[in-house]
Structure formats: C-alpha cells, structure tokens
Amino acid sequence: MCCARAKQCLALISYPVMSAPATPYKCMKASPRRSMCPDLDNTNLNSSPPDIMPYLNVEMRGWIVGMCQAGLPFRAISDLAGVPLTMVYDKIKKYECFGTVQTEKKTGRPPIMNAQDRRELNHIITRGCRLTVAQVTDLLTHQVFTWTIQHEIHELGKQSRIAPKKPYLRPQDFQQCLAFAQAHRHWKINDWDQVIWTDESAFELGKKVDWVRVWRTPEEKWKLENLAVNHRSGRQMLMVWGAFCAAMQAPLVFLNSRMTLAEMVQQVYQPGLLPFIAWMEQAPWIHGCQHILLMEDNAPNHTARGRTNWQNQHNIQKLDWPAH
C-alpha cells in the first residue's frame, strides 16, 4: 500500500518512486539566470550539504511532499535528499498551509526593514522620544537612509510634534495633586459650577518664542517678508486678569507688570471680582448655595497675608488648590 500510494503521488511530479531527484538543492548565491532544472548526470546524493542554506527547486519540493504523503519519515527524507531536517519540515508545513509547492511571485521591491528592524526602531524611539531622525538612524543596527527611518516611524503611528508646555512639578506636588483629586472625586457638575476660576496671563510682545517657518529660495533669505522682526525696545509684556464660572466669564482686566495689594484691590477685585461674585450668586444654578468658592493658584502674591485678610473681610471663601 505504501509503495502504491507513493507511485500515485510521484506520478504527479514525474520522478522515480524511491530515488530523490538529482541536484537536490542549489546555492542561494547562484545566478538567477541559470536554469532551475536539476542536472541528472552530475549528482552525488551522499555529499554533505553546503555551508550556505540551500534553495530547493520546485521539483525537489514536490518530491519531499510526495515522500511525506507516502509515509516516509522526515529523517529518511532528509537523509535521502541530502537536505537539513528543518528544511524538510518547513517545506511540508508550507504545503499544508498553501496547498502548493510553487513559490508565489513577489511584486515590487521587498521592504528594506523587516519586522525585527521595526521592533528595534519602535524600542529606540519609545525610550528616546526626543531623538532626531539622524540620531535614531545612527542607533539602528541596520543602517538605512534617514528618510526611510522617518517613513517607518510614521508607519508606526508616531509623528513629530511640539511638546506641550506645563509647569514643573516636584514629587510632593504630585502627591498634593493626587490628594486634591481624591478629595473631590465625588463632586458633581453642580459643585464645580460654584467655583470661580481666576488666573493672570502674561503675553510678550515683539518676540516670537516659537519657530517661524517660511517658504523661500536661498536668494530670498534676507527679504523683509521672510524675517521674524524683533522690537529694539526690548521685552514688552502685557498682563491680563480673567475669571469664569460655569459658562459665564468675567470682564477682562489689563494689569501692570508689578502691582501692590492696593492696586490689585482697586483695579481687579473691586471692579471685576466682587461684582462677578454678586452676579453669580443670583444665578439660577447656584440657588441654595451660600457662598461662591474662589480658586487662585498659590503664587506668592495670592498667598500674601494682606490679600488673605482682605478676602476674609469680604467673606470670600477660597478653594484649597495644590501648588504647581
């Protein structure tokens, strides 16, 4: 039964039953223009395989599959064909998966970076997110062009973006922020609608802290429209104070760069903060609340004793806000 089944399988590939085809493999360094047909005259199956991993032609792969279907063990097929055992196992598994011993034609140029190179690239940019493309290229084991690295990084879903700015937080600041979040985790929207959020902002005039990009030729470098102009007078600052509560906003107040407590009360608190608090206490969604909470950051001028005393005199309650 075994020999009969082997004859049926081998009849499809036109080879003798128990003999392997001549020239069982070819070196991968062979010229692609050479014929893939085996040389039946000059073959020695008992010779040891070459040092380079062999490339099996279609006839040899079909013979290996036929011997396996005939019931011949993998080791016997490997010894008879003179190829490594792992290659026999690989060809049979590929036949079971795809149902053919033919090699699929590959369209286009193969990618220069394989899966291992992409994993290495992802590891490098994850650990060094501030590296430039040139630095990432130098760290890779597989040296390729920088534009290829940039394309592969984009394929990983990562883009070069400007890092958002935030205040520096010390370890104790993280603990205070966490404690604040845990203490107010049960607050609802109505509770937060009773908080007036205030802050000051400073805007620098005549100086661009970010990069300005223009499209130009080398000869147009010094044209006026291609320049980022700075004022000769030096640094010019514009400071404003603002507040909001729920969906309502207080009037914007312009400040001087340096203000005393009396100036702050006269220019900000009396004309801006107190009327806004009185108006918010009459809002329909604040009904039932005795006091509006005021939120200010822990800047030194906000925690000064004189300002705290003035707020206590006007019965203004503050929300304990962690320092940052």
Confirm whether 27 is domain-assigned: yes
65 and 125 belong to one structural domain: no
48 and 13 belong to one structural domain: yes
135 forms bridges with which residues in the sheet?
none
Confirm whether 235 is domain-assigned: no
Predicted local confidence at residue 98, as pLDDT: 84
Share the mean pLDDT of the chain: 75
Predicted local confidence at residue 120, as pLDDT: 93
pLDDT digits (tens, 9 = 90+) for 111-129: 888 899 999 998 998 888 8
Q: What is the C-alpha to C-alpha distance for residues 317 and 80, in angstroms, rounded to an integer?
A: 92
Which residue, 67, 98, 129, sits at the end of a domain?
98
318 forms bridges with which residues in the sheet?
294
Neighbour-count burial of 106, counting CB atoms closer than 10 A to its CB (0-12 exposed, 13-18 middle, 19+ buried): exposed
Instruction: Read off φ and ψ for residue 262, nearest 5 degrees.
Output: -65, -40
Predicted local confidence at residue 4, as pLDDT: 52
Predicted local confidence at residue 323, as pLDDT: 62
Of 34-48, 83-97, 295-309, the range with the highest mean pLDDT is 83-97
pLDDT digits (tens, 9 = 90+) for 221-277: 777 666 765 555 556 778 899 999 887 888 888 887 677 778 888 888 888 888 888
**Domain count within the chain:** 3
At 280, which CATH number?
3.30.420.10
Confirm whether 323 is domain-assigned: no
Confirm whether 221 is domain-assigned: no
pLDDT digits (tens, 9 = 90+) for 154-200: 898 888 887 776 777 788 888 988 999 999 999 988 888 889 998 88
The residue segments making up the domain with residue 133 are 115-155
Confirm whether 215 is domain-assigned: no
pTM exceeds 0.85: no
191 and 296 belong to one structural domain: yes
Of 257 and 102, the structure prediction assigns the larger pLDDT to 102
Residue 250 φ/ψ region, left for φ over 0, alpha for ψ in the -120 to 50 degree band, beta for the rest: beta
Q: What is the C-alpha to C-alpha distance for residues 163 and 167, in angstroms, rounded to an integer?
A: 13
pLDDT band of residue 24 (cuts 50, 70, 90) is: very low
Confirm whether 29 is domain-assigned: yes
Predicted local confidence at residue 210, as pLDDT: 60
184 and 147 belong to one structural domain: no
Predicted local confidence at residue 57, as pLDDT: 86
Predicted local confidence at residue 208, as pLDDT: 54
